[in-house]
Amino acid sequence: MISVTHGDSGRQVDEQAASMLEALFTRSPIGLHLLDADLRVVRVNTATPFMRDVSLSELRGRPLREAYDMVDDDLEPLLREVLDTGVPLLQHIVPALVHGNPPQRRQFELSALRLAGHGESALGVAVTSVDVTERERSRARSTIRDAVRGHVGRTLDPVVTGEELVSAVVPGFADIAIVEVVDAVLRGDDPPTAPLPTGTPVMRTAFRSARAHPPQAHRVGDIRRLPAPTPFTQALADLRPRVVELRPTDPWLAHDPPVAEAIRASGAHSLLAVPLVVRDAPLGVVSLYRTGDALPFDEADRDLAAELAAHTALCVDNARRYMREHTIAATVQRQLLPRRPETHTSLESAYLSVTGADPGAWYDTIALSGARSALVVGNVSGRGLHAAATMGQLRTVVRSLAAFDLAPDELLARLYDTAGQLAAERARLPLGDPPRREPLAAECVYAVHDPLTGTCTLAAAGPLAPLLVRPDRSVALVDVPSGPRLGTPEGAPFAATDVEVPDGSVLVFTSDPLLAGYLAESSGPLSAAPDFSDRPIQELCDALVYGLPQGLGAGDAAVIVARTRAFPADRFVAWPLDPAPEAVAEARRRTRRQLAEWNVDEETAFNTSLIVSELVTNAVRYGSPPLELRLIHDRTLTCEVRDAGSAAPHLRHADTVDEGGRGLFITAQLAQAWGTRYTTWGKAVWTEQAKPLPL
């Protein structure tokens, strides 16, 4: 039995403690640093990997800031705070340069404890350090991955997508980032097949550097052809990322001197060229560089960059698809809309250009009988080609209904029924058809301007209302009852309203209620409308656009600007007629006399007399007093016979033995167009003769 005395036990503990300290300072993989009260190196653990080539004699007695290449200037104040307060510093991350060829920038996790003597005086600081470079790089990669997934691709703009990518990866992942996209992709075309053909134009869409005023081989927006062979063209050939250690003697640099010079000037030593690929089709390339003392790219960085590039490429391709659909929709919209407005004697109109941002928006001006004009503005909900196609359908329906001289409220009621049928057809489409997932809804305002009465009759489906600028410079939204939106199951009736429009007034119709509301509240752009009375109305449109604030443009809306003028008094006559057979002869005499004053040729005057004779005869026989005959000498020669009856005349072919029934048939043969228009006071049967007429 061996007995150990207390003295022997104390000596054994001291020996064990000394042995443990020796093992920690010579063989432990954890870095140990013993500093005195002046933060000078007393002893270090030379067994840690980054200290194996360092001699203790080189460090002993040197101040902390000289012994280690600490990148963090805040470390020394933190250690002094540990000396002063005794509060430990735990798990503080410090970047430092590790000696080597080349020197490497690594990260260490430090913990510091104050060493106190018997009198509680501070003897120094014990610092432990663990190399956590890989852990922090992994954490940084996760941060970069989350940043790219959360911030790249928020818009359908490939240029903005590239800018979002470089902002997310610099400086956390790379010191310099460049995005170049195939130029055809930016225009919405299909990407080329791999390998990317030599000489394919690419555009630099984004550039970002961690340093101020960095050297650039090419400016953002430049279009160039990639010289070959280089790591960029190789990556676009086999669609695999490249990690390249940059050396001045690399032969590929001679193929692209501007890039070689930029690399030399920036001090880049590591390149990661990553292709943007979607379904094995190259969209572009991302170039990442590290400069100075940053660690070169490794395999883990390459895998992460490939993941980030795949996400970015998908966003760019989505933007390309949207741009292509937008281009097609804009083309369809442009073909479906009138190129120039129909300017009439009493109504001069102009359109503001529609950019295609809202392909469902439409406008139209339609010439009606009796020197009247219809103005139409509408908007179909949704985006893309389907909205443009539906817009074309509704515009065609409006034009067809307008030919029947329907009142605005009745026309919208019938348009509402047609839109309901289109919505029902859309609901019966297969489940996978995109239009089925997008219910049909549209808004429309239909107005008829009558220069002979100085009024405008309007009806609206939805919250669309025009603005009226009177000659006294007052600007106001016309109070139009808002009917149900087209395609919705609301089914409420439509109501029309009449508003007086003095000569020289300006009407502004827009498919965007927000734009109309702004113009009504801020009358600045329109208050000068009377000043344009003798200038082209297109100049007023330009002034209107210039006066809008940033972000509230008229380019996304369908807009009609119309200016009213007085109808020439010498080109319109109206005569009341007695409801008696003698009125027919009187109407013929007055008609011949008036046509002679207008210098109408003999053939047209003869035909017009026959038309007037038949129309007045029908009114006397089948109409209700009072009767009125109107002649309007405008773009056509118009004859109107009005009465208070509601019975509609209709064309029929009389039999051989019939004594009558041929009047309306003869009228239809002599006139280019004819029809019946109903009003609150009765009806008007009209004809138009479109023949050369000297004015």
Domain boundaries, the chain: 28-131, 137-325, 338-564, 569-689
- Higher per-residue pLDDT: 356 or 268: 268
CA distance 60 to 76: 17
What class does CATH assign to 28-131? Answer: alpha beta
- 394 touches 362 (CB < 8 A): yes
Average pLDDT score, the chain: 84
> Can you spell out the DSSP letters for 567-623?
PPGGGEEEEEE-SSTHHHHHHHHHHHHHHHHTT--HHHHHHHHHHHHHHHHHHHHH-
Structure-block tokens of residue 501: 């429009």
Q: pTM for the full model? A: 0.68
Task: Using the predicted structure, report yes or no on whether residue 164 has a pLDDT greater than 70.
Answer: yes
pLDDT of residue 525: 73
Structure-block tokens of residue 670: 């002599």
pLDDT of residue 426: 84
pLDDT of residue 693: 45
CB-count burial class (<10 Å; 0-12, 13-18, 19+) for 292? middle
Task: Using the predicted structure, report yes or no on whether residue 173 has a pLDDT greater than 50.
Answer: yes
Q: Give yes or no on whether 28-131 and 338-564 have one common fold.
A: no
CA distance 17 to 458: 100
pLDDT of residue 70: 60
**What's the pLDDT band for 185 if we cut at 50, 70, 90?**
very high
Instruction: Kindly state the average pLDDT of the residues 185-205.
Output: 89
**What's the pLDDT band for 14 if we cut at 50, 70, 90?**
low
How far does Cα 269 stand from its chain's mean position?
40
CATH topology assigned to domain 137-325: Beta-Lactamase (3.30.450)
- The verdict on domain 569-689 having CATH code 3.30.565.10 is yes
Instruction: Kindly state the average pLDDT of the residues 365-378.
Output: 92
With residue 166 as reference, give the H or E element that holds it.
helix 158-169
Portion of the chain with pLDDT greater than 90, in percent:
40
pLDDT of residue 51: 58
- 338-564 — its CATH code? 3.60.40.10
**What's the pLDDT band for 660 if we cut at 50, 70, 90?**
very low
Cα-based distances in Å from 485 to 297, 419, 420, 445, 464: 59, 10, 10, 10, 10
pLDDT of residue 129: 82
3-state secondary structure of 32: strand
Q: How many residues does the chain have?
A: 695
* pLDDT tens-digit readout, 39-62: 888 888 766 655 555 666 667 777
* Amino acid type, 65: R
pLDDT of residue 326: 76
